[in-house]
Amino acid sequence: MPERPKLPIKELALVWGGNLSSKLMMFVATIYLANKLEVEGFGIYSTVFAITNYISLALFTGLDTYTTRESAGLREEAVWPFAKKLFKVRQKLGDLAVLITAVLALILGRGSRETGMTLILFGLSFLPLQISCVNMFYGLEWPAPIALYFFGGRVVFLALVLLFVKDPGGLYMAAGAFTAAILLENLYLFFRLSSRYSKVAKQGAALPDFKAKPILLLTFLTALLLLHENLPQLFVFLLKGEEKAGLYASSFRLIYTAVTFANLGGFVFLARFSKGNSDSNYQRSRVYSLVLGIAFAAAGYFFSDFVYSLLYNDSYAGGAAVMRSGVFQMALVPLRVLVWQYILANGRLKKALIPLVLGVLISVGITCWLTAQAGALGAARGLVIGEAVLTALLLFAGR
């Protein structure tokens, strides 16, 4: 009888442990910023964060996913040569990200100088992303540095925010603190990877090619998938203004903590699924993911009023209702992330293309319409509907 494949418990424990501690610190920083910057300043901060986060994920996630998958099969002597090839590709994408950010800063800065300047400061974080190698650590199943990467970066961010952001005038400092944290956490992983693998590297070692076609397909599909998460914030900002954007962000940032918690664990499953024997792990993990999501959603729904009264000042009145409208997204995100990793690991991207495009179009269309009708409440409801549609269609594609 073949040995039953084991769930990656150790890897999940370390990565989720580091991620959980980092999310707790990010949670504290977010609530602190929401109250210090007040609702309009927080609306600008959160909208700019959503824009740069989308640019980063849209440009790099396809490459990151490919990196995780290919790193899982590397010999020790090929790790550092592969990393150097990776950095050359990332440099080009990083330069493109800076250019896109600068153009958007000029456009949005015409209506709000603060928005433009904040976007430029956030955009500088794309420079250290040129040496980002966290996904190689996922592929190599080397979880301890990943945990410290998340933990250390958020310690720096939280410390800088607490030290230098004291009032709404601290908007630029908050953006600079984010960029500084990105720089330090990526330098840490770069030197960890270099110190371990550069000495054993061999010239001429067999390396996977960075083939443009599969990476571009991954990039395109990932960019589509992320639209439905990031566009609601921008819709509220453009259609309803900075104050409503801040109100929506106060809810979404709480939900986003749980969403990113699920997403980061997903790369652990991608590495494991890429090694084979994935069906058994996949079938069992779907149940666990769904239970995890429902538990988060139920807690968020029933404690929304308490959370808002505890965390936010009076300028965020009405935010609890937005949270109750959007919290059920969390019930499905862990499952959707898991299904997506399974599709990636098993090379089913072409099969997922039409369902994904259809799901994103439905999600974006419904969210835009509901935002125009009901503002922040409509954006939250649209995100939940979009999540349900996308999850159902990806489950179909992953059969």
Q: How many residues make up the chain in this entry?
A: 399
What confidence category does residue 7 fall into, taking pLDDT thresholds of 50, 70 and 90? very low
Q: Are 392 and 399 spatial neighbours (Cβ–Cβ below 8 Å)?
A: no
In the predicted structure, residue 127 carries a pLDDT above the cut 50: yes
pLDDT (0 to 100) of residue 1: 34
Q: Are 34 and 99 in contact (CB under 8 A)?
A: no
Residue 329 is predicted with a pLDDT of: 82
Q: What is the DSSP string of 53-103?
A: HHHHHHHHHHHHHHHHHHHTT--GGGHHHHHHHHHHHHHHHHHHHHHHHHH
pLDDT tens, residue by residue, 171-219: 999 999 999 999 999 999 999 999 999 888 877 666 766 666 777 777 7
The residue whose two tokens read 């509220």 is 236
pLDDT in tens, 301-320: 888 888 888 888 888 888 88
Q: Say what the pLDDT of residue 122 is.
A: 95
**Which of 334, 330, 332 lies closest to 285, judged by CA?**
334
Long-range contacts, stretch 317-321, CB < 8 angstroms, 24+ apart: 318/247, 318/376, 319/247, 319/250, 319/251, 321/377
pLDDT greater at residue 278 or residue 364:
364
Nearest to 270 by CA among 188, 208, 348, 337: 337
Rounded to an integer, what distance in angstroms lies between the CA atom of residue 225 and that of residue 386? 10
pLDDT, residue 332, reads 82
For residue 2, the 8-state DSSP code is P
Residues 6+ apart with CB under 8 A from 153: 22, 181, 182, 184, 185
- Domain boundaries, given as residue ranges, for the chain: 9-397
Q: How many CB atoms lie under 10 A from the CB of residue 190?
A: 17
Say whether pLDDT at 3 is over 80: no
65 band by pLDDT with thresholds 50, 70 and 90 = confident
Write out the H or E segment, with its range, that includes residue 119: helix 113-123
Residue percentage of the chain with pLDDT more than 70: 83
